[in-house]
A and B are shown apart, each in its own frame.
Chain A
């Protein structure tokens, strides 16, 4: 395949971008929900932290699936494995650091 090979492409039409709009509204809703739980509600600190971290993880998954199309491609298992391994190392680093240095877990 030469780098700059040109393909003649036809314009295609699809409907309203529901996936993107739903992704945006869910992201905004989760952001404000997290803000309200942190500022508006006075739950115990640990409960608040658990809930807002859970909401952040949920929101990250929305980005991954609605915007980043992580399951696309000819063999998506390669990128999924890469990302899962990255997540595992990240989790080990953050949780391990907090556990050892801050006794926070």
Chain B
């Protein structure tokens, strides 16, 4: 580290959280932010197409006919609370409390699984019971692609956090596992940010218009 021009002084470095203490950890975290910026653009394109296609229901059911606020609020609250428990896991990481970190991460993926269950149930209700599958109209194509992309990200997040849990159990909190746990946390919070906009731009907008 001492031969790198980017490295900090020993004194400054020791004040930083563990995941930032190596140059590699630092760069990987910045790199992950750049990845999130690209993800933002990906979701932006899906939001743009959904909002344009929203009114193109081809005589089929529209947002107002399909959306029910109860299940949507349940999904929203579960995901918000999971983001909170994920925040607590980062806090326990900063306290170097391995048990707390692992515990809150387990709660986070359990809440993630509940969210996925609710979402799959919602998709099933629309596609099978309400006769509104992805192929029914442009509105439903846009809806299922946007929501499905988010759901696929949540699924990946659950698998990813599970993998990090195994590593934490095996190796404990090191500079490397701390960085990995912090980055999965960033990913999970990002998914919550996307959901906030889905809640607003898809569900609430659909009920208002």
Chain A positions within 8 Å of B, measured between CB atoms, are 1, 3-7, 9-14, 17, 19-21, 23-24, 27-28, 31, 34-35, 38-39, 45, 48-49, 52-53, 55-56, 59-60, 63-64, 66-70, 72-75, 78-79, 82-83, 85-87, 89-91, 93-94, 96-98, 101-102, 104
Contact = CB atoms under 8 A, between A and B. Distances in A.
B95 A97 contact: no
Contacts of A12: 94-96
B84 A20 contact: yes
B113 interface: no
Interface string B83-104: 1101110110011110000000
A71 B38 CA distance: 19
Given A34-B204, A102-B51, A102-B52, A23 B69 contact: no
A86 B208 contact: no
B199 A56 contact: yes
B196 A60 contact: yes
A6 B80 contact: no
Contacts of A60: 193, 196-197
Contacts of A101: 52
Contacts of B58: none
A63 B40 CA distance: 14
Interface stretch (B19-27, B121-129, B151-159): B19-27
Residue of A48, A63, A87, A89 contacting most chain B CB atoms (<10 Å): A63
15 contacts: A4-B171, A9-B96, A9-B174, A21-B84, A24-B84, A31-B80, A34-B200, A53-B200, A53-B201, A70-B33, A74-B26, A85-B37, A86-B36, A94-B44, A102-B55
Nearest to A73: B20
